[in-house]
Amino acid sequence: MQNIPQSYKEIKSLLNAGDLSCEILVNKYLENINAQQDLNVFISLFEKDSIKRAKEIDEKIKAGNAGKLAGAVFTIKDVISVKDKLLTCGSKFLSNFETVYNATVVERLLNEDAIIIGKVNCDEFAMGSSNENSYFGLVKNSIDKTRVPGGSSGASAVSVAANMCLMSLGSETGGSIRQPASFCGITGLKATYGRISRFGLVAFASSFDSIGIFGSNSYDIGIALEVISGYDYMDSTSSEHEVLNYAERSEERFDPEAVRIGYVKEYFEEGLSDDIRKGINERLESLRQKGFKVKEISLPSSKYVIQTYYILTCAEASSNLSRFDGVRYGVRAEDSGSVEEMYVNSRSEGFGDEVKRRIMLGTYVLSAGYYDAYYRKGQKARQLIMKDFENAFSEVDYIISPTTPTTAFKIGEKVEDPLAMYLNDIYTVSANLAGIPAISVPAGKDSNGLPFGIQIMGKKFDEEGLLRMGNEIN
């Protein structure tokens, strides 16, 4: 595998000094990609396009007018729109669908001279925790090919961990960036809801979905965040909150005595791996030794998060995915006797089992007679969870927890047990329910040598603090 710097600072320094070119860089990444095809990371590889673009950016660098991300090579999760390229969402339904516009995040990357090398695999319509639910086949963890990379953005995480790119844009609804980051030993950031435009992201659950960033360090994620963040008139939920110079600020150190850190007692109870518990406790002790104020806190509504999350997200999914009917785009079932039969047959053939499961659950909780019992009650529980975080952040500045209860599990281990699979998200979904930012950074390895992450959650729009705290932990 080609040895490529995993730091944008280092890459940029080499480019500016003339010791490296974007064209050489892209070719090295392509060699890494081709050498690791068995991981099944890519759905679409933009080989010719990325080489052509690299040559153009080399000229810009020579002329001294290159953008902030010149030479930064990205992959994009295949639920985010890239103009004139396939947008499959990992589904048979959209296996032949090409989109006609760029997502706002893609447009902003390109405007700053980033290079997009391809679209990567994912759980179908971003529904899954293991990247085993794709029509295009499962993705393998590059650290141990018998194990999953996490999901639904598992291929995005693997593309960074396996040095196929510098960074990747993924999406998450309940932890689909942080959980794969933990399983693959890299850093993954989910920003505050509304910080990053969702225009061009295929919706799973609109009030939860966030586009996020995978990288190897806080600085790289910070510079990508400042490029893709900010208000977008095409997304009514995007925020006008000030965008900061996250990259430089990420390297500023805290005054430890001025920072209060809480760890959630409910997150250290049964179900958590002993190796991860020990590793997180060691990190907390290290922070104490640095002078940070560390205390135990409680989030009493934690016991409701999984139920609340799946009731609400499945309800939104059943509504969002109703547009996929075989009429306007995507797979259309042939030889259907009537329009209604065509709808049913197209959806039956086009969707995989996990998507069908969630549509059925969502339709059930929204149906007459069950709406009040489930959906309305779920919304009330969400308010309780948000209130818990408000109370917690009146006591502490940051909340630290495990990212996942275990390290990466074996391929096929939980496919037949959806509830066990859903419990992988137990520590991550609360940030999406509350709309707060959260990051997973590498925290160590278990007794099998598999990486695990530590999760840091912060107040709304304090992504800067999360990146800085990530550096304190590393």
**Active site positions, annotated:** 77, 152, 176
CB 223 within 8 A of CB 166: no
Alpha-carbon gap, residue 80 to 60, rounded angstroms: 27
Closest CA to 7 of 62, 73, 56, 65: 73
Strand partners of residue 115: 73
Residue 405 near residue 271 (C-beta atoms within 8 A): yes
Q: Which residues pair with 44 in a beta bridge?
A: 119
